[in-house]
Structure 1
Amino acid sequence: MVWLRSRQTLTYLILAMLILSLSYMIFTDNTYEMEAVRFAGNHLQFLRSNALVDTEKPASSKAKERSDAIKMNLQKTCTTFNISLPVNSFMMGHMHYDDTSKAIYCFIPKVACTSWKRVWMKLTGIVPLDKDLSTIERRFIHTGLPLLKSNMESELKLKTYKKFIFVRHPFDRVLSAFKDKLESFDKSSTYDFHKEIGMKIQQKYREKTNGGHNVTFTEFIRYITESGPLSYEQRNEHWLSMHEICNPCAVQYDFIGKFETLKEDADYVLDWLGAKNIVASFPVSDRPFYTRRYDPKYFNSLDHKTKMKFFAKYLADFVAFDYRFL
């Protein structure tokens, strides 16, 4: 008990340090203070993760424990933030279902959704069992799966089927979207992100445009974190808040996995769905966009005000899914 009390005391001290440091950051832009907040945040996360998950347990048990902890945290966040979103066709337009395993997967772009869709193609029998998942064309992957919104029994399935989602650190996810859709050129997409979105960003922040190419990360973040009503482009699904896509405050998901623990969590879900005989292991991405949260090229290019606006925009995601901003 003495050890427990000392551990709790240390946790509160670190939390206090984090809050004080963050408060100071709101009025200053000090590099050393940033490092102090990062240090405190990392140590607080270490203590919390140790308290939530027993590292001695098998990977499957740890995956379930992590998910249960996230779901408890999510419930508190939905209540505290008073989040009330409708269960609508937009949300069900991000849900794939399988009648054999009686399961629903709500996909969030930039959270291994292409890999999961490849799995779903085998699970639903759209491709042969001996098909090499890496050979399936990306365009077919994103258009060849049935969506819950088009099913006549959507409401019944939503109530009775087991459901899961995967989430990712908000900054990593948005950075990955920027690198994929605007910094590079996505040849597999029928939607021209440079023309449709890059151009609008340049028109807003530059005197001259160049076809929407070479948009900077700062311009992009400023654009998607603007105050007031946002346009369709500013709310594109690749950077729309995760809780707005899959609506976990209204839909009770049985499992919430994380991109950061993808292998363990995906293996757990495959076993949970009874799909290990169909998909032996979770497929790796054929086009990974590696992101490093504090990569100076991106994170340090944002001024203090822009960083705080980003945090405010994705606050519900940070809190609900237990992610640290720093």
Structure 2
Amino acid sequence: MRFNSPYWRAIRRYILIFVAIALLPLALVYVVRLDQAYRIKGYEYVNESRVPVLPEESVHTLAPTDVERIEKRMERRRKLLQEKCTEFGLDVAGNDTWHKPNAWEFLFNKKYHIIWCNVFKAGSSSWMYNFNILAGYSPEFLQRTKEVFLTLARDRYPRLTIEKLREAQNDSLTFMIARHPFERLLSAYRDKIVYAIPHSYHDKLGRRIVRKYRSKNLDMNTPRYPTFPEFVRWLLKQIQLGILQMDMHFISSTLFCTPCLINFDVIMKFDTLDEDQLYLITKTGLTRVIAPEWRNAGRGKNTQELLQSFYSKLSSREMQGLYQYYKYDFELFNFSAASYFNLVDENATRK
């Protein structure tokens, strides 16, 4: 039998046409569902490259006068940072961790020329989402995935050496987000210790802290996780032992990003983040690609109530110990600790 005969060629042609017709509805359903997924998340396709962008009604912009006003704010922050770095000698490179530039935690997006030092518990959840969008992950995927956002990001953003970081900064904008050290510490404690995922690293850490620092005289109502004073005692011990990299959520922002040794174009602050991040998005030309985000915004009572209820349980000595460790964060980014010392428990006599 000759399979190259006109008869068999016609048969093959009809089969291919039948398969194409049969698959066409499935392909259309896939395209429509994918398009709907983007639209549901506030995105739409705009050209044949099918790159998801924000629709016009979701785009946030700043008036030119606001851009100018916030630019002056950024200039003041950069100037203060430079002055304080010189005052404390942190702008001189050295071999210890406070004087060695740390490029390990930076994420560099080559396509959009934007570099971020990810300070955990300072808008990190929101901007990790944004950087994953910039890396090409779809909003629909990020909505349903069980993967940790940081893990996804590191698949697309390799670790940088200091040489690679400096090279990238030649044509990119570098930014970080600063947050009041004591607010950031409390947020990290609640997120990672109080609400630790069962059997996770921080859940196990909490159990170790309880075993070491909990008095046997406490009543039965004491929670299974470390109280804030117990956690602070553990933290101060790590600092005393010189274990400065004890945890990326608790470490000093100055030590984490070394802003005295690496140039930052934009320094956003948590208390002005609404405006600051919109300024950054405008400055980088990303208004149709990402939007201001507030993810993992916190739990329960407002910040002032939380600060008072937790820090009032600390002693003067414990508060002073925390301040000394986070001193550069306070000084470089213009935060005050005065009101916190008014909250301390003068009757606390913990060693």
TM-score when scaled to structure 2? 0.66
Number of aligned residue pairs: give it.
259
Residue 198 of structure 1 aligns with an amino acid whose one-letter code is G
Q: 1:243 is matched with which residue?
A: 254
Of 73, 76, 92, 1:69 maps to 76
Q: Which runs of 5+ in 1 are unaligned?
A: 1-55
Match in the other structure for 1:19: none
Percent identity at matched positions?
23
Q: Distance in 1 between matches of 2:174 and 2:134?
A: 15
Deviation per residue, 1:33-92 (Å, 9 max, x gap): xxxxxxxxxxxxxxxxxxxxxxx99433333222221111111211111124212xxx33
2:203 is matched with 194
Among 98, 103, 121, the alignment partner of 1:92 is: 103
Task: Please report how far the alpha carbon of residue 241 of structure 1 lies from its aligned counterpart in structure 2 after TM superposition.
Answer: 0.3
Structure 1's 59 and 148: CA in aligned 2 closer, same or farther, altered over 3 A?
farther
Q: CA RMSD in A?
A: 2.9
Which one-letter code corresponds to 2:76 in the other structure? A
1:322, distance to aligned residue in structure 2 (A)? 0.3
Pair 1:220 & 2:225 matched: no
1:177–1:138: structure 2 CA closer, same or farther, 3 Å change rule?
farther
Which of 152, 156, 175 is the aligned partner of 2:186? 175
Partner of 1:305: 317
Structure 1 residue 59 corresponds to structure 2 residue 73: no
Are 1:106 and 1:164, in contact at CA under 8 Å, matched by a contact in 2? yes
Moved more, 165-174 or 74-83: 74-83
Counterpart of 2:3 in structure 1 is none
What's the secondary structure of 1:257's corresponding residue? strand
- After superposition, what is the alpha-carbon deviation per residue over 1:137-167, rounded to whole angstroms, capped at 9, x for unaligned? 4634111123352589444214542200011
Post-superposition CA distance 1:247-270 (Å, at most 9, x none): 101001000001111110010111
1:146-195 superposed Cα distances (whole Å, 9 cap, x missing partner): 335258944421454220001100000000000101111236xx842020
Structure 1 residue matching 2:203: 3-state secondary structure: helix
> SS of the residue aligned with 1:105?
strand
Match for residue 147 of structure 2? 139
Aligned partner of 1:81 in structure 2 is 88
Q: Unmatched 5+ residue regions in structure 2?
A: 1-62, 94-98, 340-351
Q: In the alignment, is residue 321 of structure 1 matched against residue 321 of structure 2? A: no
In the alignment, the residues of structure 2 paired with residue 271 and residue 133 of structure 1 have an alpha-carbon distance, to the nearest angstrom, of 26
Note the alpha carbon deviations across 1:296-315, whole angstroms, 9 max, x for none: 32011111111111111111
CA displacement 1:271-295 (0-9 Å, x = unmatched): 111110112x212214524533763
For 2:334 and 2:294, the matched residues in 1 are separated by 25
Name the CA shift for 1:58/1:302 in 2 (closer, same or farther; >3 Å).
farther
Larger Rg: 2
Matching residue of 1:6: none
Distance 1:157 1:114 in 2: 24
Distance 2:158 2:210 in 1: 37
* Native 8 Å contact 2:174 2:266 kept in 1: yes
Cα displacement (A) at 1:104:
0.6
> In structure 2, do the counterparts of structure 1 residues 185 and 229 end up closer, same or farther at CA, with 3 Å as the change threshold?
closer
SS at match of 2:303: coil
Q: Distance in 1 between matches of 2:146 and 2:286?
A: 22
- The separation in 2 between residues aligned to 1:298 and 1:291, in whole angstroms, is 11
Alpha-carbon contact 1:92-1:147 (below 8 Å) kept: no
Measure the CA separation in 2 of the matches of 1:157 and 1:136: 32
Secondary structure, aligned partner of 1:215: coil
Amino acid in structure 1 at the alignment position of 2:271: E
**Pair 262,287 (structure 1): closer, same or farther in 2 beyond 3 Å:** closer
**Aligned counterpart, 2:8:** none
| Structure 2 CA distance for aligned equivalents of residues 315 and 79 of structure 1 | 15
Query: 3-state SS of the aligned residue for 1:82?
Result: coil
Determine the C-alpha separation between the residues in 2 that align with 1:284 and 1:179. Answer: 18
Letter in 1 for 2:213: Y
2:125 is equivalent to residue 110 of structure 1: no
Question: Residue 229 of structure 2: SS of its match in structure 1?
Answer: helix
